[in-house]
Amino acid sequence: MKKLTFFKSLIAAIMMTISLGVSAQNTLSGTCPGYCDPSGAGALTTATDAFYMLINTETNGDVTFTILGVPNNTTTFFRGNGWADGIITGITVNGDANAGNKYFTRTISSDKKIVTLVKQSDIPADATIVINGILEYKTADTGAESNLWPTVNISFQYGTTCNFVQTPLATPQIISIDEDKRITFNGVEHAGSYMVYVFRDEAIVHSQAVTSGDVINFTPTITYDYIVKLQAITNDINYLNSAYSDGYTWHLIGEGIELGPSKFCNYVIGSGATNYAYLSWETDANGNVVISISGYAGDTQTTFRANGLGPDLSNFTVNGNPASTYFIRTYTAGGTTYTLTLIQGASILPGDKISYTNGTIEWKTSQNSNAYGTYTFTDYVYGTDCSSLPTVTTDPSSISFSPTQGIQTFTVIGTNLTSAITITPPRGLTVNPSTISPDENGEINEVVTVNWTGGTTSGSTIQISGGGLVSNVAVLVNTSGFSAYCNKVIYQQNSTNYPAYMTIDMSSDKTQMVFTIAPYNEGDGTIWNRIVNIVVNGGTANELVASNVLSADKTQIIITFTQPLQDGDEIMFGAPMVWETNANHNIFIDAYQGPYIVGQSCDLEDQGPYVSVSKVLDEIINIYPNPAKDVLNVTPSVYKTEFYSLEGQLLYSVVNVYEIPLSTFNKGMYVVRLTDKAGNIVSKKLVIQ
């Protein structure tokens, strides 16, 4: 809720006193209406929550409250009913409450501009009427100003009227427009600014704010006698904007324009992995504007649904004019196109601007049958398409891994690329190559090999970026037969903030469960704080837990059970689960997470416990000799080497060391965890003699 200091409007016939809590009142000079500036900005041109209000006693005894925007704000309205029922019944007349609506009921106009207190019984002349409660209104269609609800205390005298009249500004006149496109005109009193409009027939093809002597920044696409009109703009509530000036004929030689590509090609809509989709705007050979939707990460089930971009074209404009003058809507629910079909003879040319403002788009994907959102697309250039933009496609658009399939490939096909592309896998996968440069024609056709290393959760994506692409291209990663917790991305509760990777492993004897956390973003310093509760098969929390240990480097939590678990057992955990990054030391999820299914791991088949890599990578990241006695060698690609007991306890950790003395280690078997500079992880059993 935004605090506000309300107004006292001063006229002889009306007195209004409005306040919030103990806020100080502003006293404003002039006549009604009363002015409210909740933002505290003080200036009409900068206040974002400001509005005016008229309070009038009508001839039939009703009282009307009219809300007005600050000059040139056309999005100021009451919300809901302005005042809720409980506030209306709490109105007092000379201190007597409006219980049971004995004095007034309430109505609100269809345009949400006027709230009326409808008289129900006699009210004494000059009675003091007080409204104290939340006022619901908005000054914008989106953002915080679309949902304002301050508590206000309004006191006024029954029987008074405002008699407010707004006077149009005088009409300015254009004197000349010279060969350098400089406009000269006569100003008018009380004008705050001026707008110039360039018409082609009845269509506005250009508009801008000007002062006398400014250049009109309009480049014609065709030779034509354009008509220029000027309007004076007010910043005073007592005035209205002027009428248009007389038309000034402006003959211009068409210079043509470089249209370039469409502004909206593979524009990503949606708010998460389940409802992402691409939207593209293009003009076809028949002059129709085709808005197409396509699937993110190769989702073939992505389509429009319901009304698509709306049941009509009311959210569309052409050069600021209603789009229905130029187009009709062609659309079938469940299709992939929403078309603005050109009306024969409509006056529209390449370079004209089409906008879609605060419209609701409705679509569906394979994972979300009810996706929707409010969007604005400003100044799509008519005549443009996406054919010249860099493009990348992949074949296939999704890949799948299983415990017996740890290597996959896909082909990258690119056209019109301006530079190299980068292929970024999620944690737990590696790609080769990770960078591909196009040939002299801007083309790419190359096979990418993807290796399962530490593993990744099903539904993650490989991202392809660079090359001049407007949006990243995603390759979907599917898995089967693995745990659901292989480098799974976790977030702060009810948000997408402070992400981290979490992997769950189970020891071969099923007596230990290891939670490993890793940074989502390089350098995040991500560590565990705690996982409080472990529930096995719906039992009592922690009844089978012998110990809950945080590793020395805080990257692992090792749960030891009082007895071996069985394949198929279901484990819930958390309540809460807490981790830390450099930016926040209390990131949490309160609810239980899971289930983790015992017997499902992140390992490929024929790999030992804790080994979560393909055989290909296993040869690249290595240790030797094994068994070892005095010194253990690691391959130079290794960044970090860690020694664990078979129980999962971290014993030793070292960075950028390739010869490790073993004199301090006891004889026996260890698990050595190797992390290379790319973040790939290999775990190996080591015997020290």
- Distance from C-alpha of 119 to C-alpha of 130, rounded to nearest angstrom: 15
Three-state SS at 136: coil
Q: Is the pTM of this model over 0.75?
A: no
For residue 49, the model assigns a pLDDT of: 84
DSSP H or E segment with residue 154? strand 151-157
Can you read off the two tokens belonging to residue 32?
Answer: 């009604």
% of the chain at pLDDT higher than 90: 62
Q: How far is CA 262 from the centre of its chain?
A: 22
State mean pLDDT over 658-673. Answer: 86
Whole-Å CA distances, 437 to 202, 297, 434, 451: 50, 22, 10, 21
Confidence band, pLDDT 50/70/90 cuts, at residue 620: low
Residue closest to 7 by CA, chosen among 33, 31, 32, 26: 26
CB-based contacts of 545: which residues, under 8 Å, 6+ apart?
534, 559, 560, 561, 562
CA trace torsion 39, 45, 51, 53 (10° rounding): 140
Cα–Cα distance measured from residue 244 to residue 232, given in angstroms and rounded to the nearest whole number:
8
Span 387-410, average pLDDT? 91
- pLDDT at residue 44 greater than cutoff 70: no
Angle at CA of residue 250, ends 248 and 254, nearest 5°: 155
Confidence of residue 220 (pLDDT cuts 50, 70, 90): confident
Residue with tokens 């499902």: 600
User: How far is 85 from 444, CA to CA, in rounded Å?
Assistant: 65
Contact at 8 Å (CB) between 557 and 534?
no
User: Among 634, 646, 627, 649, which residue's Cα sits nearest to residue 682?
Assistant: 634
CB atoms within 10 A of CB 669: 11
Q: Tell me the C-alpha distance between 361 and 311, whole Å.
A: 10
- pLDDT tens, 338-368? 999 999 988 888 888 999 999 999 999 999 9
Does the pLDDT value for residue 204 go beyond 90? Answer: no
pLDDT tens for residues 259-288? 889 999 999 999 877 899 999 999 999 999
- Predicted confidence at residue 91, as pLDDT, reads 96
* Lowest-confidence pick of 88-92, 144-148, 594-598: 144-148
Q: What are phi and psi of 302, to 5 degrees?
A: -80, 125
Q: Look up residue 543 and give its DSSP letter.
A: T
Residue 242 gets which letter from DSSP?
Answer: P
Q: Which residues contact 143 (CB under 8 A, 6 or more apart)?
A: none
Predicted confidence (pLDDT) at residue 425 exceeds the cutoff of 50: yes
Q: What is the mean pLDDT of residues 576-588?
A: 94
- The dihedrals phi and psi of 402, each to the nearest 5 degrees, come to -145, 170
How many other C-beta atoms can be found within 10 angstroms of the C-beta atom of residue 254? 12
What is the reported pLDDT for 610? Answer: 39
Rounded distance between C-alpha atoms, residue 402 and residue 407, angstroms: 9
Does residue 647 have a pLDDT over 80?
no
CA of 558: how far to CAs of 537, 552, 561, in Å?
19, 11, 10
Give mean pLDDT, residues 629-640.
85
Instruction: For residues 181-196, give the mean pLDDT.
Output: 96
Residue 318 pLDDT grade (very low, low, confident, very high; cuts 50, 70, 90) = very high
In this prediction, what percent of the chain has a pLDDT beyond 70?
91
| Burial class of 1 by CB neighbour count within 10 A (0 to 12, 13 to 18, 19+) | exposed
Q: Is the pLDDT of residue 39 over 70?
A: no
Q: For residue 542, what pLDDT is reported?
A: 96
162, 33 contact by CB (below 8 A) = yes
Q: Which of 129-133, 321-325, 601-605 has the lowest mean pLDDT?
A: 601-605
| pLDDT of res. 619 | 57
Q: Is the pLDDT of residue 194 over 90?
A: yes
Does residue 544 contact residue 535 with C-beta atoms inside 8 Å?
no
pLDDT band at 478 (very low <50, low <70, confident <90, very high): very high
What integer best gives the mean pLDDT of the chain?
87
AA letter at 72: N
* Backbone phi and psi for residue 629, each to the nearest 5 degrees, phi listed first: -125, -60
Structure tokens at 192: 């705050």
Are the CB atoms for 293 and 336 separated by under 8 Å? yes
Sign of torsion over alpha carbons 373, 374, 378, 382: positive
Q: How far is residue 395's CA from residue 31's CA, in Å, rounded to a whole number? A: 71
Band of pLDDT at residue 38, cut at 50, 70 and 90:
low
DSSP 37-72: -TT---STTT-SS-EEEEEEE-TTS-EEEEEEESTT
| C-alpha to C-alpha distance for 93 and 105, rounded to whole angstroms | 13
Residues making up the chain, counted from first to last: 689
Question: Is a pLDDT exceeding 80 seen at residue 233?
Answer: yes
Helix (H) / strand (E) element for 84: namely none
Comparing CA positions, the residue from 489, 449, 479, 475 lying closest to residue 299 is: 475
Residue 437 predicted with pLDDT over 90:
yes
Distance CA 147, CA 145 (A): 5
Does residue 612 carry a pLDDT above 50? no
Residue from 638, 641, 643, 642 nearest 676 by CA? 638
Give the list of residues 6+ apart from residue 169 with CB closer than 8 angstroms, or none: 188, 189, 190, 191, 232, 234, 239, 240, 241, 242
| Average pLDDT for 37-55 | 68
DSSP secondary structure letter of residue 617: H
Query: pLDDT, tens digit, for every residue of 129-161?
Result: 999 989 899 998 877 788 888 887 888 899 988
Cα–Cα dist 488/689, whole Å: 37
Among 177-186, 293-302, 543-552, 648-657, which stretch is predicted with the lowest mean pLDDT? 648-657
Where does the pLDDT of residue 618 fall: very low under 50, low under 70, confident under 90, or very high at 90 and above? low
**pLDDT (average), residues 548-560:** 93
| 54 alpha carbon, distance to own chain's centre | 38
d(CA 683, CA 641): 10
Average pLDDT over residues 521-542: 94
Of 40 and 77, the structure prediction assigns the larger pLDDT to 77
Nearest by Cα to 33 from 291, 237, 264, 294 = 237
φ/ψ bin of 226: left (φ > 0), alpha (ψ from -120 to 50), beta (otherwise): beta
State the pairing for strand pair 239-240/167-168: parallel
Whether 43 shows a pLDDT value over 70: the answer reads no
pLDDT per residue as tens digits for the range 10-32: 332 333 333 332 232 333 223 47
Q: How many CA atoms lie within 13 A of 399 on its CB side?
A: 24
Residue 332: band (very low, low, confident or very high) from pLDDT cuts 50, 70, 90: very high
H-helix or E-strand spanning residue 92: strand 92-93
